[in-house]
Amino acid sequence: MPSTPSSRPAEQPQATPTRPASLSHQTTPSHQSTSRRPALAAAAAATAAALLLAGCASSGTAAPGASAGGGEPQSGGTLRFGLGYDPTCLDPQQAGGNDSLNIGRQLVDSLTDQDPETGEIVPWLATSWEVSPDAKTFTFTLRDDATFADGTPVDAAAVQANLDGIAALGAQATLGSSYLDGYAQTVVVDPQTARVEFSEPSAQFLQATSTMTLGLFSVASTTLSVEDRCAGEFVGSGPFTLTDWQPAQSATLERRDGYAWPSSIAGHEGEAYLDSIEYSVVAEPSVRTGSLQSGQLDAFMNVLPTDEEPLKATGQTVSARTNPGISFALLPNTDRPVGGDEEVRLAISEAIDRQEVVDTVLTPSYKAATSPLSSSNPGYTDLGDLLTFDLDAAKARLDADGWEPGDDGIRTKDGQRLQADVVYLTNFAASEQILQLVQQQLVKAGVDLQLRQVTMAEYPEVQKVGDYDFSWTNLTRADGDVLRTVYGASGRNLARLAADDAVNTPLDAQAAEADADARLALLADAQTQLLERALSIPVMEFSTVIATAPTVHDLRFEASSRLSFYDTWIEAP
């Protein structure tokens, strides 16, 4: 859909962006680029600062820890952890769901890590790296003592086999395929040096190397079938190994003897403290809560907002951290009449009271959206002034657009009711309640929101066909390129924008920009354009909320708000 002039006021809000993760662990030359919006570029360069950590923890905990520290760590014991959903695939290179990735993180190490407090990329399996000025070449120097659980070395050949393999997976690599856009090859310079080359600039790639999605397997594991890998047949270099998996029921991990190469920001060195981790799929929220309170579980994720206070009242610890990435939003299908009407989109955005959503359905663990990006994301810009609740303005906009109130309060135009079909998943249990409240809010403006729940299996086909007006969507990633992944014509293009749509200019340019300040300005520009035209209608920031028993210590959030058990320990009975 071609770009159309915005009917928003010309005056821009003050941008307050946060700096993206550093591109290099060593000093490298940089490019400069100019944003389409000079004022935003200047504001971004002037205010670039340390990443604002937007996590929150309750009951005496502090981010990034997801459980209280205290006392001397003890080695031993089994942590019993409850999952809300079936981790249908344990391969982190293929999986996209949090339950799967939270298991995969314990099994694989990554080339780099990302500091959850600053967004900085720091050493892990790679001790250092160099990035070419055009962001096309990334050269990693690997530590020489890391091995996979089968005894083979973590070397440049393994890096080559893994990246080649993920690229070959294509769409089967749910997240990794976008991280490797433009991937050309990996060259084995010597056993401890790998040079990764792209056919086009890829400023986001360094951050991608910190994710479990690009975590490394043994060379032999990269040749396994996708089915075998989903079943956990792969071999990683992580602090735990998989010893048992019962699909839709449980998974058991055991500590790896001799592990000695943790991330540079880990809390200790050497082997993990826990002897083992027993994951159980406990789909019913009340059963998860009761199992923790009765001592049958030590921790669980997917805590319902309504369960937070009852858990804390019985002495459990409830901790939360805002997920970086795309805020939960109504994403329009601009190929459809309603989603393609900019005035309707803007009116819908104005008629949503985001703070009421947080105050009514959620808890202080969550925040009202102030940007297409969540506030914990490197590159986030506070654009809350463009998301102000104003029901009168929404009504006036629809009046001017020719939508007249009907007898039942729902507006019509040329005989067509102002009805919008919204598809959503229930992977976040509160989504239905949130959308029901938004539905009630929009009725006051004369908009009839029709809610349609679909399954995880159905959702890809629904998106492909485009049989909806809006989709209720979020995506976790601690890098601003997640905007291009979701909205860009070179990404998933979930709003179905034309290739020449104006917002693609900053989205594509930031992916090629190696200079941190210039990239920040481009991301600020993209966020502003998305809101000025309501191509994104963000509502709330998603948070990972977990509950732990008082005996659990140092269960930590990593930069993507997923969990790391390496430093976790439990008190002996």
pLDDT of residue 69: 58
Q: What is the DSSP letter of 59?
A: S
What's residue 417's pLDDT?
Answer: 96
Write down the pLDDT at residue 21: 47
Bridge-based pairing state of the strands 299-301 and 78-83: parallel
Taking residues 64-89, what's their average pLDDT? 84
User: What angle (nearest 5°) sits at the alpha carbon of residue 486, between those of residues 480 and 491?
Assistant: 95
| Average pLDDT for 300-308 | 94
**Which pLDDT score is estimated for 325?**
96
Over residues 328-386, the pLDDT tens digits come to 999 999 999 999 999 999 999 999 999 999 999 999 999 999 999 999 999 999 999 99
ω into 64 cis (within 30 of 0) = yes
pLDDT tens readout for residues 538-559: 999 999 999 999 999 999 999 9
Q: Give kind and range of the element (H or E) at residue 434.
A: helix 431-443
Other Cβ atoms less than 10 A from the Cβ of 276: the count is 17
What lies within 8 Å, CB to CB, of 513 at 6+ separation is 31, 33, 135, 201, 203, 519, 522
**pTM of the full structure:** 0.86
Question: Please, are residues 447 and 411 in contact by the beta-carbon 8 Å criterion?
Answer: yes
457 Cβ neighbours under 8 A, 6+ residues apart: none
Rounded CA-CA distance 86/223 in Å is 25
7-61 pLDDT tens trace: 333 333 334 455 554 444 443 333 333 333 434 433 333 333 333 222 333 333 3
- pLDDT higher than 80, residue 294: yes
> Residues 499-520: what's their mean pLDDT?
94
Task: Please check whether residue 278 is in contact with residue 80, taking contact to mean a CB–CB distance below 8 angstroms.
Answer: yes
Mean pLDDT of the chain: 89
Confidence category of residue 530, pLDDT binned at 50, 70, 90 = very high
pLDDT attached to residue 66: 62
Which whole number is the average pLDDT over 220-248?
Answer: 96
**Within the chain, which residue ranges are assigned CATH 3.10.105.10?**
38-50+324-541
Buried b (16+ CB within 10 A) or exposed e, 245-259: beeeeebbbbbbeeb
pLDDT one-digit tens code per residue, 436-462: 999 999 999 999 999 999 988 788 889
- Domain 64-320+545-570 in CATH 1.10.10.10: no
What is the Cα–Cα distance from 474 to 326, expressed in whole angstroms?
A: 5
Confidence band, pLDDT 50/70/90 cuts, at residue 407: very high
Degrees to nearest 5, angle at CA 28 with 520 and 266: 75
Burial of 264 (0-12, 13-18, 19+ CB in 10 A): exposed
d(CA 211, CA 564): 12
What 3-state class would DSSP assign to 179? helix
Which CATH fold topology does 38-50+324-541 show? Dipeptide-binding Protein; domain 3 (3.10.105)
pLDDT for residue 18: 55
**Region(s) of the chain under CATH 3.40.190.10:** 64-320+545-570
| pLDDT range class, residue 67, cuts 50, 70, 90 | low
In this prediction, residue 70 carries a pLDDT of 66
96 confidence band (pLDDT: 50, 70, 90): confident
Among the listed ranges 26-30, 250-254, 266-270, 346-350, which one has the minimum average pLDDT value? 26-30
Instruction: Summarize pLDDT for 309-324 with one digit per residue, the tens.
Output: 999 999 999 999 999 9
Higher pLDDT, 21 or 63: 21
pLDDT tier at 572, thresholds 50, 70, 90: confident
Segment 164-223, tens digit of pLDDT: 999 999 988 988 999 999 999 999 999 999 999 999 999 999 999 999 999 999 999 999
Strand 543-548 and strand 317-322: the pairing is antiparallel
